Amino acid sequence: MDKETSYHLSTALEEFLIGRNVAEDTLNYLRLHKVLCSVVIEDDDSMQPSSTKPRNGKNTRLIKLGWFHYNETFKEPKQVRAINGGGSRDVRVPKYYNKQDIIDEGCNLFFPNGTSSKGLKLSDMNTTLLDFCAKELEDEVMTIEQMFQTAKITRLHLYLCTTPKKRKEVCETVTSETADTRGTSDTMYGEVPTQLSSDLTEFQCSYNIEDFLCLPPDAVVANDRLLATQIQNEENDGFILSLEQNTENTPVTPVSPTADISICLHRGRVFEELINIFLERRMVGSKIHVTLMLPNGELECAEDLGGVWRDALSEFWNSMYEKCTIGTNIKVPQLRHDFGVEKWSAIAEVLKQGWITDKYFPIRLSKCFMEYTIFKQCSGDVTTDFFGYISEDDKTVFREAIGHFESIPTDELLDVLGRYDCKTLAKEDNIKQIIDELAHQEILQKSAFISDCFNKVLVNLVDVNEFNEIYRTSNPTSRNILAALLYDDNLSEEAEKVSAMLKRYIREAPENIRMAFLRFATGADILLGNKIKIIFSKSDGFSRRPIAHTCTNTLEVPDCYDNFMEFRSEFNCILTSNIWIMDIF
């Protein structure tokens, strides 16, 4: 081993051992060895200095360098985790480095070859430097050594901060798209072209979704604009990266109740994303503007004046019913090992936010469960909720056991009771009491922990009279929906004919179709106390289709249906398709 190599190895070893409680004699031996090696190196005429500025340990400093990136959801920079190409890096830099030198060092670390590990381009970013307090460093000439002396700390933390140079504002209103082959979505007054949505895929593939680029006009249907959006893969990035994080112990940042907050949610992931957003920040009472992104990565183009937020709430609670509750017609939350106090409280905050902004209340949750949750007492009939909670077959067995105990086969009754963990021998004189006890167990006892978590957020949300009124008037019965429809005073003969078809359709529709009708027309799958304005339009052929304006609770219906069967077929096709696209209006 030559003297130069030995010298550099001794330097590296000394730096490694410093701070690790290594005996001073060992360090002195290494320093002596370095001195001897340096004398040999200086005497060697063949050795030339590699730089006019020395870079040994005495002239460098070890710093922690991290990366902050601007978060579109919360309108402020957020630190990028190591798994997403960020993290805190140990970097040894010369003492004379200033702000720009450190920015260049950070760009080389986090944007090798000008692109981050998640595809963000350095050329699209404005860069600056944040100090250890996450505040922008104003002094352009202060050196690293001066920063250490000023801060009086042994390890300096600095952060490269990047912000996109340009952003696109997204607007949105509402129409519908059906699975029928009549055509794609249209604007209110524009003609409906026959161009298929598959044409959009070609343009989607040719653009980087991380760039705020507007797709070419010819890729759009009926003058609508589809915008790509920047996907920020970083820590706490609201609707994307925070989904994979364990946020149970994440500190919650409060938000002013009067603040307007813009968030972007993905279709099919609204439940998880809203929970994580409400875990990140307390937003109850704030005005929330929602942008929804389709599974293909394109934004639904609509301006959220209330309808998009209601649609997001409907999707949230439908996902909640599927993933966190048990029951047929009436739902009761059930414990999950991956849901602790924080997550259940976040769900309660979403409920509270929906009630404050739009009077949206998840009425499919058991009335007795919610009454006990809010008021810590239950005056309702728990057994009635229990019969809505269990299957039709189980309900039939229980009802027959109450009225005609001897006629029920013993094996069948024991099988049903065993499913609910009954511990008492059923007899004719105690079967009613057993059913009442099982109802209390299933509706209130098993969900007591969740009820306590909800209560901390929902206590005193409404009074008793208002609570009872919610479950009476919000229920999407045909009677309640028909009472909410509002028509013009002077209708044409064709409009009168179609209005009669609409009323008959609602009266005959099952509950799931009635809920879909409300969600299509208003954004919410329950009644919120607002009237639904019905207007009639002249459209036929491929352009004949209902158009909903959820922000104003207006439903535009064509007046050219020949018979009720034709009307019912087209409305069923739309309401069961689940392909409703928000378009610019």
Could you please report the per-residue DSSP string of 411-466? HHHHHHHHHTT--S---TTTHHHHHHHHHHIIIIITTHHHHHHHHHHHTTSS-HHH
Instruction: State how beta strands 89-94 and 60-71 pair.
Output: antiparallel
Q: Name the residue among 537, 530, 473, 543 with its Cα closest to residue 222.
A: 543
* Higher-pLDDT residue of 271, 33: 271
Residue 120: what pLDDT?
A: 87
The DSSP string of 84-145 is GT-S-EEEEEETT--HHHHHHHHHHHHSGGGB-TTS-BGGGEEEEEE-TTS-B---SS--HH
What is the torsional sign of CA 520, 524, 525, 527? Answer: negative
Q: Is the pLDDT of residue 309 over 60?
A: yes
Average pLDDT in the chain: 78
Tell me the per-residue pLDDT of 398-438, one tens digit each, with 9 for 90 and over. 999 999 999 989 999 999 999 999 999 999 999 999 999 99
Burial class (CB in 10 A: 0-12, 13-18, 19+), 68: buried
Whole-Å CA distances, 410 to 162, 426, 427, 431: 71, 9, 10, 13
Task: Kindly compute the dihedral angle of the four CA atoms of residues 523, 525, 531, 532, in this order, to the nearest 10 degrees.
Answer: 60
Q: Mean pLDDT check: name the lowest of 148-162, 191-205, 465-479.
A: 191-205
Burial class (CB in 10 A: 0-12, 13-18, 19+), 359: middle
Q: Is the pLDDT of residue 112 over 70?
A: yes
Confidence of residue 250 (pLDDT cuts 50, 70, 90): very low
Q: Name the residue among 390, 332, 322, 361 with its Cα closest to residue 468.
A: 361
The arrangement of secondary structure in 60-164, i.e. its CATH architecture, is Roll (3.10)
Q: Is the pLDDT of residue 73 over 80?
A: no
Per-residue pLDDT, averaged over 392-398, amounts to: 94
Return the domain boundaries, the chain.
Answer: 3-33, 60-164, 475-576
pTM score of the predicted model: 0.57
Residue 562: what pLDDT?
A: 87
Confidence of residue 238 (pLDDT cuts 50, 70, 90): very low
Q: Is the pLDDT of residue 359 over 60?
A: yes
> Both ends of the chain: CA-CA distance in Å?
76
Contact, 383 vs 431, CB < 8 A?
no
* Higher-pLDDT residue of 572, 251: 572
DSSP H/E element including 332: strand 332-333
E strands along 488-549, which residues? 532-537, 547-549
Residue 5: what pLDDT?
A: 63
Tell me the per-residue pLDDT of 186-218, one tens digit each, with 9 for 90 and over. 333 333 333 333 343 333 333 343 333 333 333
Confidence of residue 539 (pLDDT cuts 50, 70, 90): confident
- CATH class of residue range 475-576: alpha beta
Write b or e for each residue in 362-397: b if 16 or more Cβ atoms lie within 10 A of its Cβ, otherwise e: bbbbbbbbbbbbbbeebebebbebbbbbbeeebbeb
Cα–Cα distance, 366 to 443 (Å, whole number): 7
Tell me the per-residue pLDDT of 48-65, one tens digit each, with 9 for 90 and over. 444 444 444 578 889 989
Q: Is the pLDDT of residue 345 over 90?
A: yes
Q: Is the pLDDT of residue 513 over 90?
A: yes
Please calculate the CA angle 10-11-12 and round it to the nearest 5 degrees: 95
DSSP H/E element including 75: none
Burial class (CB in 10 A: 0-12, 13-18, 19+), 18: exposed
